[in-house]
Structure formats: C-alpha cells, structure tokens
C-alpha cells in the first residue's frame, strides 16, 4: 500500500509493525509468527470496524483514493481484444473519456468510461478524468456504434465532473452532455453503468443512464462535490464534511432513494486494498446483469429504461 487516508492511520501503523516483524523473523521463529498473526487479526478487526461505519466524507476520500482501480485496470482485467477508438470526428480526442470495443466474458461489447490516471503524468494526460465536449461526443459515437451493431454497452463512471474551461464552454459542454444523455436513453441495446469511484454531477450522468446502474460500495454519486456545495451554501470550505453528509451521496443513500439498482460490496478495507478482487466482483455482477438484459427486446429495454428514469424520485418520502 502506497497511500493511506487520514482515518486509516491506525491501520497503517499496525501494518507497518507487521512488516517490521516479518523482516526480523527467521525460519521457524514461532514467537514472531505468533505475534504477526495476532497483529493481523487486530488489523482485520480494525479494518472491519472502520469500513463498516465510514462517514460520508470518509467515503468521498475512499472513492477518490489514488490506488483505487480505474477504468484502464478494469479493461485490462475484464476485456479481451480491447480495441480503443479515438476522437469525436469534430475536434479532438479527449483522453478523459476512453472507450472502444472488446469482448467481455465472451460477449462482444462496447465499453466507455472516465479515466483519472494512475500517476501524476497520467493524471495530467487524462485531465483528472474531467472530460471536455469531445469526450462526451466520443461516448455518444460509441453508444451509436453499439446500437447499430447490437452490442451491449458497459459504462464505468469515475469523474469529479465535466471540465470547466473556456474552450469546453465554447465547444458546447452543455450540449455535448445533453446529447450524451439523450443517446444513452435512446439506444436499443443493454446499457450497464457502474459508478466505480466518483460520480460527479452532469459529467457522470452523461454516461450513466443505464438499464441497470450499480455503485461500488464505497463510491459516491452527487449533484455537486461536497467542496463546491459547502462553498456555495455554507460559504465556507470548513463545512465540506457537513455538506458531504447533507448531500446523501453514498451508494447506500442512492440505493435507499431508489436512484440506483444495486450496490456491489467491496473487499474489506475498500477497493484500493484488493483491486483484483474488486474487479472480479464487478465483472461477475456485470455478467449476471448482462445475461439477463441481452435476451430482452431492444425496444422494450429502451422503454423500460426511460420509464425507470421518469419514475425516479416519485416514491421518495422524507
């Protein structure tokens, strides 16, 4: 583990101790082995305690954790013959949204998602997962391609939001997002969306209008970042944690409000502790949903998808 969050410090200390003891221990040193095992139990207990009751703000931090698996990690592990496409045929190729064709567990499919990047260089190249209009137009192209060839679409959402810049505005950021939503709600093939990290507002919903929308256990999905909300409604950055709570942005909140269909459990201690296990679980969930959806009539799928979004929020009672 390279990065620890503030509230993970006690866990980090325990793990540090375990590492030290392991270095000390020789072959057959039962005392040390025993001590290590005890510390491991303690670590696991602490992890369980911590992750069972993460506050919304802690979830925000976990959702943004740099070691959390990103779009490229899922594609590398789940998609065979991945063939990326580039560009919006108008202006540029936006690397904040990636996508292409590939084979997911035997199914030819289209996969789209935001990529935040794994290190500083990559983060800059992918613009921290904040797409410009070109990204949404590329996503649209891909959804239309899928529709034309009856391929299911998988979208993995992980973005702080659409990029706020002069060029993005001039080239129609709002129009690009609106059309992307329009296309996602219009295609006659299965659309499976998963919020894998941060579901940041309009930039997220643009590709998250799925027949089934899932969220990883510690991912978040919000109309505004807690920081932005605090600065507008409280006029104070210090109220960020309070805003995170008020916004009801956790996967559990969204499920409770009936805005998503399913929460996918993460391994103990969060997706960043065990990316392989996380990716495998997400793959299994996608496969089961895809099997269910792919046999359905395209027109019916589309009608149900649209009805689902039309009905959203109607049953919510405070």
Partner 1 sequence: MNWLTNFVRPKLRALVNRKSVPENLWDKCPNCSQLIFHRELETNLYVCPHCNHHMRLSAEKRLKLLFDGGDYHRIELPKAPADPLRFRDQKRYADRLRDARARSKEDDAIAVAHGTVGGIPVVVAALDFGFMGGSMGMAVGSGIVAAARLAVTQLAPLIVIPASGGARMQEGALSLMQMPRTVVAVQEVKEAGLPYIVVLADPTTGGVTASFAMLGDLHIAETGAMIGFAGARVIEQTVRETLPEGFQRAEYLLEHGMVDIVVTRRALRDTLARVLSLLLRREPTPDLLEPPRTERLPAGRRPPEDNAHVALPDDTPGA
CA distances 50 to 59, 248, 263, 281, Å, are 11, 19, 19, 21
Q: For partner 1, which stretch binds (CB under 8 A), given 18-26, 70-78, 100-108, 169-177? A: 169-177
Q: Which residue in this structure is represented by tokens 């540029």?
A: 92
233 touches partner 1 (CB under 8 A): yes
- What are the beta bridge partners of residue 133? none
In this complex, which beta carbon is closest to partner 1, that of residue 81 or of residue 170? 170
Q: For partner 1, which stretch binds (CB under 8 A), given 25-33, 81-89, 223-231, 287-295? A: 223-231
Which pair of tokens denotes residue 81?
Answer: 């013959």
CA 56, CA 51: separation in Å to the nearest integer? 11
Q: CB 17: neighbour CB atoms within 10 A?
A: 15
CA 137, CA 97: separation in Å to the nearest integer? 10
Which pair of tokens denotes residue 285?
Answer: 């969930």
CA dihedral 127, 164, 225, 204 (to 10 degrees): -70
Of residues 16, 165, 265, 298, which one binds partner 1 by CB under 8 A? 165
Q: Is the dihedral of CA 184, 218, 269, 119 positive or negative?
A: positive
- What are the beta bridge partners of residue 213? 193
Q: Name the minimum Å distance from CB 138 to partner 1.
A: 17
Of residues 42, 82, 122, 228, which one binds partner 1 by CB under 8 A? 228
300 touches partner 1 (CB under 8 A): no
CA 221, CA 247: separation in Å to the nearest integer? 9
Q: For partner 1, which stretch binds (CB under 8 A), given 21-29, 71-79, 81-89, 158-166? A: 158-166
Q: For partner 1, which stretch binds (CB under 8 A), given 20-28, 141-149, 238-246, 284-292? A: 238-246
Residues 6+ apart with CB under 8 A from 20: none
Which pair of tokens denotes residue 306?
Answer: 């649209």
256 touches partner 1 (CB under 8 A): no
Report which of 85, 82, 113, 73 is spatially closest to residue 208, judged by C-alpha positions: 113
Q: Cβ distance 94 to 130 under 8 Å?
A: no
Q: For partner 1, which stretch binds (CB under 8 A), given 5-13, 41-49, 105-113, 252-260? A: 252-260
Q: CB 68: neighbour CB atoms within 10 A?
A: 26
57 touches partner 1 (CB under 8 A): no
Q: For partner 1, which stretch binds (CB under 8 A), given 66-74, 104-112, 141-149, 164-172? A: 164-172
Q: Name the minimum Å distance from CB 52 to partner 1.
A: 23
221 touches partner 1 (CB under 8 A): yes
CA 141, CA 69: separation in Å to the nearest integer? 25
CA 265, CA 65: separation in Å to the nearest integer? 17
309 touches partner 1 (CB under 8 A): yes
181 touches partner 1 (CB under 8 A): yes
237 touches partner 1 (CB under 8 A): no
124 touches partner 1 (CB under 8 A): no
Of residues 162, 194, 207, 212, which one binds partner 1 by CB under 8 A? 162
45 touches partner 1 (CB under 8 A): no
Of residues 43, 209, 240, 278, which one binds partner 1 by CB under 8 A? 209
Q: Name the minimum Å distance from CB 244 to partner 1.
A: 11
**Residues contributing to the site for partner 1 (CB under 8 A):** 161-166, 168-175, 177-179, 181-182, 184-186, 201-203, 205-206, 209, 221-224, 228-229, 232-235, 239, 243, 246-249, 253-254, 257, 259, 306, 309-310, 312-314, 316-318
């Amino acid at each position: 583990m390279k990065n620890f969050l503030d509230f993970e410090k006690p866990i980090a200390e325990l793990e540090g101790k375990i590492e030290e003891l392991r270095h000390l221990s020789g072959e057959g040193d039962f005392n040390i082995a025993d001590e290590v095992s005890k510390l491991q139990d303690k670590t696991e207990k602490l992890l369980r305690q911590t992750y069972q009751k993460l506050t919304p703000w802690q979830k925000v931090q976990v959702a943004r954790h740099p070691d959390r698996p990103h779009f490229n990690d899922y594609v590398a592990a789940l998609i065979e013959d991945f063939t990326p496409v580039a560009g919006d045929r108008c202006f540029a190729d936006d690397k904040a949204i990636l996508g292409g064709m590939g084979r997911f567990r035997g199914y030819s499919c289209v996969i789209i998602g935001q990529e935040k990047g794994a290190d500083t260089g990559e983060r800059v190249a992918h613009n921290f997962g904040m797409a410009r209009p070109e990204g949404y137009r590329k996503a649209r192209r891909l959804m239309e391609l899928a529709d034309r060839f009856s391929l299911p679409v998988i979208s993995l959402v992980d973005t702080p939001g659409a990029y706020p810049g002069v060029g993005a505005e001039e080239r129609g950021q709002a129009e690009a997002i609106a059309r992307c939503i329009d296309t996602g709600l219009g295609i006659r093939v299965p659309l499976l969306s998963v919020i894998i990290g941060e579901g940041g507002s309009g930039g997220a919903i643009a590709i998250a209008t799925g027949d089934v929308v899932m969220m990883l256990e510690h991912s978040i999905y919000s109309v505004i970042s807690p920081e932005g909300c605090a600065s507008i409604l409280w006029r104070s950055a210090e109220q960020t944690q309070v805003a995170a709570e008020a916004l009801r942005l956790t996967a559990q909140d969204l499920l409770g409000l009936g805005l998503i269909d399913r929460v996918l459990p993460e391994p103990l201690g969060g997706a960043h502790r065990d990316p392989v296990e996380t990716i495998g679980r997400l793959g299994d969930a996608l496969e089961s949903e895809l099997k269910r959806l792919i046999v359905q009539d395209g027109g019916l799928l589309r009608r149900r998808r649209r009805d689902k979004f039309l009905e959203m929020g109607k049953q919510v009672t405070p």
